[in-house]
Chain A
Amino acid sequence: MKRYWKTIVITLAVLLGIGTFYIRNAVSASSLPQFTFVKESGDDSEIMPIVLAGSFDRSGHFGSSEGLQIVDNEIQYSSEQSLIEQFTEGYRGEYGLIDLQEKYRSFMRGKWGSASFYEDKDFLLYATIKEEGSSEKKDFSFSISLLDKENEERTDIKIEIPMKRSIIYMGEVDVQMVGRMLKVVAEHAPYTNSDFEDKEVHVYTIDLSSKKIIADDLIFYSENAGESFINYQRLAQNNIRNPNKYIVYEKYSVQEGTDSYGNKTMEKRASELIAYNLETGKQQTIQTGRLNNPDYSGYESFYNDSAIYVIERNAEKLKIETYDIHRKKLMKTFEFPVLSSKNTEDTKVIIKNSRIYLYSADESYPRQTKQPPAQLIIADLMTGKTVYKGKLVAKKGTEMEGILRTHYMEIK
């Protein structure tokens, strides 16, 4: 036995040292602040679909911040996740596809991108634009998969897209079905010699039974005349895979100028919303004074089915105007308080299932005062009633001075 003591000591040290380390890691509580939403009024179940991702920086601490996620009102720091959790949870950040992946595992294999899906009660459809060839000469084609939900019959179709001119990029932004016709809304970036970035929005109509493209409609295209530009920005769609009759773009004009220092400036002049009806191919303009605010960006607003939600935010409040596309008029206006912050981006807003999810925080840094807890408001946009109001605070005993930042919000 005596001859073996070195090996025995090393073996015991390995088992004991590494064993206790991992057992303690598994059972001991996190040393980082445990943020959860604490209700002030409303129904707790309303916050369950919220997914937040962000980071926590301890004040005065230089170095890497702690990445974190809040799912089902439970915080999880990425440094404390197991390998399997890191690998599977929120993979590619697409919670919106998890339900489909669970239900149609084999159909969903290799299919990504929420905007490429369409789902109604009979069909699940996926259409994406594939790119082949070198940067000089690219060929594009549609790759389409259709799943008939009832008999689980699957059809895969590939259709070449005829090209009239050279294109740098082409990508689908929405996929819809109108009758037995597939509509793919695609944005093109044609090849140009100027540094102005051209944009074209096409709607392709594809007959699924004859497997042919029967129409290619150019609906919007950016224009450039001297120092003024007209461009288009699609509004966020809150349930992108649901059936939707319209697609809504913000058309805005920008004037290029020079400031007193001689730097180039871009000043936004005017804008309007255009709803394109996928069934009839008709366009309809919605004018709202709010849009001409130079700070307004189409990114901020949402549309769904026949409603457009125009969002305007300032430091203290967020204003929402609901337009009805059919009735061509402003339906309702709501106002919600937000936590005041120097950066309006600290407020995150998503409209989904006729609810508004409004997360507002003050994430400015460096700061003299303690960071106030972030505020969450969920309201029903039919009635304007607040269904949940709460604050994001660290559990008792885990508080730590520092800055919590969120950079991403999603509603499952």
Chain B
Amino acid sequence: MNRFLKLVNFEINRASKLFASLLAIVAVSQFAGVVVRSKSYVSEASRVMREQSITQAEFLSSHGTISFSQIITSLWFLGPIALSAALLILYIFLIWYRDWFGKNTFIYRLLMLPTERINIFFAKATAIVLLVLGLIAFQLFLLPMQQTILESLVPAEFLGYSDYHHALNSFWFLSLIIPHSFDQFLLSYGVGIMAVFLLFTAILFERSFRWKGIVIGILFIIFAGLLLMAPFFAEDMLYPTELLLLEGVLLILITALSIVISRFLLNKKVTV
């Protein structure tokens, strides 16, 4: 256990620069976005009302209020989130391949450690999950502050929904990464963790059998995907709770299978 924690810490430290810069980019871009969008809306409102000499009510009926969901769906917000998502997906591969192709073949030392090799696998997965959830937690710290800034910059009459919960619900991608209810959160990240494990297994296939391994890895992921979708082909015959339960069981089964295969590959097949 201690070995495992050391390995996790080791991976987190290695990723800390990337992580810190992502936090900085998210914070700077999103705060800038709130300020720029609110200010430009307010100045647009006063300009239009002055130039066309219309009342506040007339402006509101033609232009509408400004809401937090308009800000949250702007590039200022989604840009850094998409960047973080893309880099973390890339990092799923990097976290393994840097050990092979880094300055010194670090994987050699890792595999020689006096611990179960599967711990390396779990440590890397835990690190990825911690980084992802860390970003989500950071976003959750920022959101109430951003809501307060919006409310202080825009007069109440011009303000639509400023509640950030509502804003999160109004865009599918955001409600996928920060769902409203905890069971949806479990589903989102359950599927996410399974996907990380599947990619790890595919990477280990490649590291074990090289070109052939890539094909096996891709086939393995397709197989897992089809298995997960299978209940939907019989959707007519299943009651909704059964469908949900079956999917949960499949999710756990596929993840377990992925771990078993990875353990075998790490212990017997992987080459340095």
A interface residue numbers (CB < 8 A to B) = 3-4, 6-7, 10-11, 13-14, 16-18, 20-22, 25-26, 31-32, 58, 60-64, 66, 79-84, 87-88, 91, 101, 105, 109-110, 112, 366
Q: Are B65 and A61 in contact (CB under 8 A)?
A: yes
Q: Is B69 an interface residue (CB 8 A)?
A: yes
Would you call B138 and A61 a contact (CB within 8 A)?
no
Which residue from B9, B161, B165, B243 sits with its C-beta under 8 Å from A6?
B9
* Chain A neighbourhood of B64, CB < 8 A: 60-62
* Partner-binding segment picked from B28-36, B82-90, B182-190, B199-207: B182-190
30 A-B pairs within 8 Å (CB atoms) are namely: A6-B9, A6-B12, A7-B9, A7-B130, A10-B19, A10-B131, A11-B130, A13-B134, A14-B130, A16-B137, A17-B137, A17-B141, A18-B136, A18-B140, A21-B140, A31-B161, A32-B166, A58-B65, A60-B60, A60-B64, A60-B160, A63-B69, A63-B160, A79-B169, A80-B180, A82-B184, A84-B241, A109-B239, A110-B236, A110-B237
Question: Would you call A61 and B241 a contact (CB within 8 A)?
Answer: no
Contact between chains at A18 and B169 (CB < 8 Å): no
Contact across chains for A58 and B160 when beta carbons are under 8 A apart: yes
Residues from chain A with a CB closer than 8 A to the CB of B137 are 13-14, 16-18
How far, in Å, is A23 (CB) from chain B's closest CB? Answer: 9
Of A4, A79, A84, the residue contacting B183 (CB under 8 A) is A84
- CB pair A87–B61 under 8 Å, yes or no, is no
Are A17 and B187 interface neighbours, CB within 8 A?
no
Interface centre among B5, B64, B138, B182 (most CB of A within 10 A): B182
The distance in angstroms between the C-alpha atoms of A91 and B240, with both chains bound, is 8
B24 near A: Cβ within 8 Å? Answer: no
Check if B99 is an interface residue, CB within 8 A of chain A: no
Residues of A within 8 A of B60 (CB): 60
Tell whether A87 pairs with B184 under 8 Å between CB atoms, given A16-B137, A63-B67.
no
B: interface residue count bin: 35 or more
> Do B12 and A87 touch (CB < 8 A)?
no
B170 proximal to A (CB < 8 A): yes
Bound-state Cα–Cα, A101 to B238, Å: 12
Q: Which of B1-51 contact A (CB under 8 A)?
A: 5, 8-9, 12-13, 16, 19
Which residues of chain A are near B252, meaning CB under 8 Å? none
Total contacts A-B at CB 8 Å: 119
Q: Is the CB of B141 within 8 A of A26?
A: no
The CA of A11 and the CA of B132, in the complex, are separated in Å by 11
Report which residue of B60, B163, B181 has the largest number of chain A beta carbons within 10 angstroms of its beta carbon. B181
Give complex CA distance A26, B175 in Å: 16
Verify if B70 is at the interface (C-beta below 8 Å from A).
Answer: yes
Whether A22 pairs with B182 at a CB distance below 8 angstroms is yes
- The answer to whether B241 and A14 have CB atoms under 8 Å apart is no
B133 within 8 A of A: yes
Question: Residue B249 at the A interface, CB < 8 A?
Answer: no
| A contact residues around B237 at 8 Å (CB) | 109-110
Distance to closest chain B CB from A233 (angstroms): 29
Q: List the B side residues contacting A58 at CB < 8 Å.
A: 65, 67, 160-161
The 9 A-B residue pairs whose C-beta atoms are closest, nearest first, are: A17-B137, A79-B169, A82-B181, A61-B160, A110-B237, A14-B133, A10-B134, A83-B184, A62-B64
Instruction: Answer yes or no: B244 CB below 8 A from chain A CBs.
Output: yes
Residue of B nearest to A367 (CB): B61
CA gap between A80 and B181 in the complex, in Å: 7
Residues in B whose Cβ lies below 8 Å from that of A4: 5, 9
Alpha-carbon distance A176/B200, docked complex (angstroms): 58
Report whether A82 and B183 are in contact in the complex, using a CB–CB cutoff of 8 Å: yes
Q: Is the CB–CB distance between B160 and A79 below 8 Å? A: no
Check A17–B140 contact: CB distance below 8 A: yes
Are B138 and A81 touching (Cβ within 8 A)? no
A residues within 8 A CB of B184? 82-83
Is A22 within 8 A of B185, CB to CB?
yes
- Inter-chain contacts of A3 with B (CB < 8 A): 9
The chain B residue with its CB closest to the CB of A8 is B9
The smallest C-beta distance from A21 to any residue of chain B, in angstroms, reads 5
Chain B's closest residue to A101 (CB) is B239
A31 and B165: CB pair below 8 A? yes
Task: Name which of A4, A63, A79 has the most chain B CB atoms within 10 A of its CB.
Answer: A63
A112 to B130: give the CA distance in the assembly, Å.
44
B128-160 Cβ-contact flags toward A at 8 Å (1 or 0): 001101101110110000000000000000001
Taking a contact as CB atoms under 8 Å apart, the answer to whether B136 and A17 are in contact is yes
- Residues of B contacting A22 in the complex (Cβ-Cβ under 8 angstroms): 181-182, 185
Known: A10-B12, A58-B160. A79 touches B166 (CB 8 A): yes
Q: Bound state CA distance, A11 and B9, in angstroms?
A: 11
Query: How many Å lie between the Cα of A6 and that of B170 in the bound state?
Result: 34
Closest to B175 in A: A79
CA distance A366 to B61 in the complex (A): 8
In the complex, the chain A residue whose C-beta lies closest to that of B168 is A79
Are the CB atoms of B161 and A87 closer together than 8 Å?
A: no
CB B137 to nearest CB in A, in angstroms, measures: 3
Task: Say whether B163 contacts A31, CB under 8 Å.
Answer: yes
A96–B144 CA distance with the chains assembled, in angstroms: 43
- Say yes or no: B163 contacts A61, CB within 8 Å: no
Supposing A17-B136, A17-B138, A91-B240 touch, asked if A10 and B183 sit within 8 A by C-beta, the answer is no
Q: Shortest CB–CB separation between residue B189 and chain A, in angstroms?
A: 10
- Which residues of B lie under 8 Å from residue A16 when comparing CB positions? 137
